[in-house]
Amino acid sequence: RAGLARCAGCGGRIQDPFLLRVSPDLEWHVACLKCAECGQPLDETCTCFLRDGKAYCKRDYSRLFGIKCAQCRAAFSSSDLVMRARDHVYHLECFRCAACGRQLLPGDQFCLRERD
């Protein structure tokens, strides 16, 4: 099977004794599996994320495609506490009253208005 596979990275035939299969239909030469954004090698020591047939490291995938704070537009880390309001997600410290700037905490009542 390895002699018939085509590398999703370079397009060449994979005739190496080893290949990396990231999904059922995408295979790479070991040396070709790199983050499409930063070029970091992706192997058993680095989590790999796929989008539109391209592989990304965790940092770049999160930065490019992850949910971002509706206020500051920064990505969330796995340890961030968040507030959700309708379809919006905020860092806890970014969830503030638009009129007075006071931080809104869990249990506070608030009203959402669409931005103009």
Q: Which residues of the chain have pLDDT under 70?
A: 1-4, 115-116
Same domain, 75 and 110: yes
Residue 9 lies in a domain: no
Looking at residue 116, its pLDDT comes to 52
The CATH number covering residue 73 comes to 2.10.110.10
Residue closest to 38 by CA, chosen among 24, 20, 19, 58 = 58
The predicted pLDDT at position 2 comes to 44
**What pLDDT shows up at residue 1?**
46
Using an 8 Å Cβ cutoff, are 7 and 28 in contact? Answer: yes
| Residue 75 structural domain | 67-115
CA distance 36 to 91: 28
Task: Say whether both 82 and 109 belong to one domain.
Answer: yes
Whether the model clears a pTM of 0.75, i.e. scores above it, the answer is no
Domain total of the chain = 2
What pLDDT was estimated at residue 115? Answer: 66
